[in-house]
Amino acid sequence: MLASKVAILLAKRMTINQTKQIHAAILVNGLLDLESLLVQQIINSASSYSYYTSHYIKLVLNHVQNLDVFSVASTIRFYSRHCQFREAVNLYGKLQRCGLSPSTFAVSSALKACARILYRSGGISIHAQVYKYGFCNVVYVQTALVDFYSKVGNMDFARSIFNEMVEKNIVSWNSVLGGYVKSGDLTMAQSVFDEMPEKDVISWNSMVYGYARMGNIERAYALFRQMPERSSASWNAMISGYVDCGKIELARSFFEAMGQKNNVSYIILISAYSKSGDVESAEELFGKLHKKDQLVYNAMIACYAQNSWAKEALQLFNAMLRLDLQPDEMTLASAISACSQLGDLKFGSWIESFIHETGIQMDDFLATSLIDLYAKCGSIDKAHKLFHGLKKKDLVAYTAMILGCGINGRAKDAIKLFDEMMNAEINPNIVTITGILTAYSHIGMVEEAYRCFISLQKYGLAPSVDHYAIVVDLLSRAGRLEEAHGLIKSMSIQPHAGVWGALLLGCSLHNNLELGEIAATRCIELEPDSSGYLSLLANIYASSGRWDDAERLRKGVEEKGYNKLPGCSWMEEVKA
DNA sequence: TGTGGCGCGC
Nearest CA to A104 out of A75, A150, A137, A81 is that of A137
Gap from A461 CA to B1 C1', in Å?
35
Q: What is the mean pLDDT of residues A350-364?
A: 91
Nucleotide of closest approach to A464 (CA, C1')? B7
Å between A68 CA and B10 C1'? 66
What's chain A's length in residues? 576
Interatomic separation, CA of residue A61 and C1' of nucleotide B1, rounded (Å): 33
Per-residue pLDDT reduced to its tens digit, A405-435: 988 889 899 999 999 999 999 989 889 999 9
Nucleotide nearest to A430 (CA to C1'): B7
- pLDDT band (50, 70, 90) for residue A455: confident
Planar angle of CA A350, A351, A355, nearest 5 degrees: 120
Q: Which residues, other chains included, contact A159 with Cβ-Cβ below 8 Å and sequence gap of 6+? A: A176
Which of A63-77, A293-307, A313-327, A330-344 has the lowest average pLDDT?
Answer: A63-77
pLDDT at residue A571 is higher than 80: no
Q: What is the pLDDT of residue A360?
A: 87
Cα–Cα distance between A197 and A323 in angstroms, integer?
A: 46
Cβ burial of A478 (10 Å; 0-12, 13-18, 19+) is buried
A260: nearest Cα among A291, A224, A306, A299: A291
Local structure of A297: helix, strand or coil: helix
CA of A158 to C1' of B4 (A): 29
Domains, chain A, ranges and CATH?
A: 464-576 (1.25.40.10)
Residue whose CA lies closest to nucleotide B4 C1': A330
Strand B bases within 7 angstroms of protein beta carbons: 1-10
Q: Write out pLDDT tens, residues A169-185.
A: 999 999 999 999 999 89
Q: Write the CB contacts of A43 (distance below 8 Å, at least 6 apart in sequence).
A: A57, A71, A74, A75, A78
Q: What is the pLDDT of residues A4-35, one digit of tens each?
A: 666 666 666 666 677 777 777 777 877 766 77
Mean per-residue pLDDT, A390-410:
93
For all residues of chain A together, what is the average pLDDT? 86
- Say how far A175 CA is from B7 C1', in Å: 41
Digit-coded pLDDT (tens) for A558-570: 666 554 444 445 4
CA distance A403 to A410: 10
DSSP string, A254-292: HHHH-SS--HHHHHHHHHHHHHTT-HHHHHHHHHH-SS-
- C1' (B10) to CA (A533) span, angstroms: 11
pLDDT range class, residue A97, cuts 50, 70, 90: confident
Nearest by Cα to A549 from A523, A526, A516: A516
Strand nucleotide closest to residue A390 (CA to C1') = B5
Exposure string over A394-421, b if 16+ CB within 10 A, otherwise e? eebbbbbbbbbbbbbebbebbbebbeeb
Question: Which pLDDT does position A213 carry in this prediction?
Answer: 85
Percent of chain A with pLDDT over 90: 51
| Closest nucleotide C1' to the C-alpha of A182 | B1
How far, in Å, CA of A273 to CA of A568, rounded?
Answer: 33
